[in-house]
Amino acid sequence: AQRVTQPEKLLSVFKGAPVELKCNYSYSGSPELFWYVQYSRQRLQLLLRHISRESIKGFTADLNKGETSFHLKKPFAQEEDSAMYYCALSGGNAGNMLTFGGGTRLMVKP
Partner 1 sequence: GAVVSQHPSWVICKSGTSVKIECRSLDFQATTMFWYRQFPKQSLMLMATSNEGSKATYEQGVEKDKFLINHASLTLSTLTVTSAHPEDSSFYICSGASGRHEQYFGPGTRLTVT
Q: Which residues bind partner 1 (CB under 8 A)?
A: 34, 42-46, 49, 86, 95-103
Q: Which is nearer to partner 1, 17 or 44 (CB)?
A: 44
Please name the residues in contact with 70: beta carbons below 8 A apart, sequence gap of 6 or more. Answer: 23, 24, 25, 33, 35, 50, 61, 62, 63, 64, 87
Q: Which is nearer to partner 1, 42 or 78 (CB)?
A: 42
Smallest gap from Cβ 103 to partner 1, in A, equals 5
Q: Which is nearer to partner 1, 14 or 52 (CB)?
A: 52
Smallest gap from Cβ 18 to partner 1, in A, equals 25
Smallest gap from Cβ 62 to partner 1, in A, equals 19
Smallest gap from Cβ 80 to partner 1, in A, equals 19
Side chain identity at residue 93, one-letter code: N
Q: Which is nearer to partner 1, 40 or 66 (CB)?
A: 40
